Amino acid sequence: MYSLLRNILFLFPPEQVHYFSMNMLKGLCRIWLFRNAIKKYFRPGDERLGVKIQLQHGLLSLSNPVGLGAGFDKNARYLRELEALGFGFVEIGTVTPRPQQGNDKPRLFRLPKDKALVNRMGFNNDGVDMIAERLKAWRVFQANNKSDLIVGGNIGKNKMTDNEDAWKDYVICFTALFDYVDYFVVNVSSPNTPGLRELQEKDALRKILVSLQEINSVKQAPKPLLLKIAPDLTQEQIDDVIDLALEIKLDGLVATNTTISRDGLVTPKEIVSEIGAGGLSGKPLQKRSTDIVQYIVQKTGGNLPVIASGGIFNGEDALEKISAGVQLVQVWTGFIYRGPGIVKQICKDLLRKHPTRSSK
C-alpha cells in the first residue's frame, strides 16, 4: 500500500512532500477518533519491547527501542503524530539559539536506486525560544494523555557564530530546553554548516561538553548528555572522542550522522555530481555506521552507551546494530522509504527473533 503512495509522493520535491505529509497526518491526529485509530494500527504495543537504560545522568525508560533521528521534526511540530506512529523516542532539532533559514533550496534529494537521501539543510529551525514554547505545550499534552514518548533535544550553533564562541550557543540551547526534553544530543557532526565538523577536534569539543556538564551537574535532576559523531572520522579521531567522553562522564554517543562520502553508489555519477554537496544517509551508510558502533562498544567494553543510526530499514538492519552492542536504534531515511509502518515492522521482527525479549 505504502509503496504505491510512495511512488506518487516521489514525483514531487522531497522537502515539499515532507511537510505536506506530516501536516496531513497532523490534521488527522487532531481528530480524536482518527488519532486513536492511527495509534491502534501503528503502535507496537507489546510490553516485551520496553527498554530501560541507566545512564550517568538518569534513567531512560522507553516503550520500544526504535527512535526517530534528528532532522525530521526540526521544530517540535509533530510530536503527537510521531507518538501515534509508535516511536519509542524522537529527537527534535537541530535547534540553534536564533532562528535561521538554512541553506538555499533545493537542499534535499532522493537517490532511490541507492535507497538514500542527500541533504544540505543547514540547521534550518525556528530558534530555541519558539521551540521551547512548543515543547512546553507538548509536556502539558503528554501529562494529560499519559504519553510515554521520550523526547531528545539535538542542539547546535548558528551559522554566523564563530567556532571559538560556539560553546555559548550550545549553552543557550541547553539551558532553554532543559525543562522540556528527556536527554540532549550535541551536534558537531553535520556537514552542512561551514566549519562545524572542526568542533569534533578534541580541544574544541572539550570546551563545549565541559561547559554543558558544569551546568548539568548543579541541576537537581541532571539530564543525559550525548554526542553525535560523523561516520567520516578517522580511528584516531574516534579514539579521541571516546577518551574525552569517558573522561568527562558523557552519557553516550549517537553513531552516526550523515557522510560526505559518495563511494559505492549505484546512482549515476553525473546525477550525484549535479546534486552537489550534502550529507548522504540511508543504505550506503549502513556498514560504516555498524562498524563504528561495533568499534566503540568493543573499545569501551560496553561502558559508553551508543544509539545506533545509519541505514536501518527493517528488523534485520536493527538487529545488526543491536548485535553490535546497542540497545537503541534510530531511523530517518528508512522512514521515508518504508513509510509509517516502519516502527511496528521493526518491533515485530525483533520479537520474532527474540520472542522472550525482556523489558528489564
**Alpha-carbon distance 215 to 184, whole Å?**
13
Active site residue 323: no
Considering only CA atoms, which of 95, 92, 94, 62 is closest in space to residue 77? 92
Task: Mention every residue, 6+ apart, whose C-beta is less than 8 A from residue 14.
Answer: 108, 109, 110, 117
Helix ranges (H only) for 193-275 are: 202-217, 235-247, 269-275
Alpha-carbon distance 356 to 344, whole Å?
17
3-state secondary structure of 357: coil
Cα(284)–Cα(312) distance, integer angstroms: 10
- Interhelix angle 202-217/235-247, rounded to 10 degrees, is 20
* Cα separation values, 44 from 291, 343, 349, Å: 29, 7, 11
Tell me the C-alpha distance between 124 and 55, whole Å.
30
61, 147, 189, 190: which is the annotated catalytic residue?
Answer: 190
CB 312 within 8 A of CB 337: no
Interhelix angle 202-217/166-177, rounded to 10 degrees, is: 30
314 in Cβ contact with 345 (< 8 Å): yes
**Beta-strand relationship, 306-309 and 328-331:** parallel
Which residue do the cell numbers 517540535 mark? 76
Of the candidates 277, 272, 230, 270, the one whose C-alpha atom is nearest the C-alpha of residue 112 is: 272
Q: Which three cell numbers stand for residue 9?
A: 509522493
- Tell me the sheet residues that pair with 109: 118
Q: Are 69 and 121 in contact (CB under 8 A)?
A: no
Helices (runs of H) and strands (runs of E) counted in the chain: 13, 13
Which stretch of DSSP H or E encloses residue 55? strand 51-55
Active site members: 190
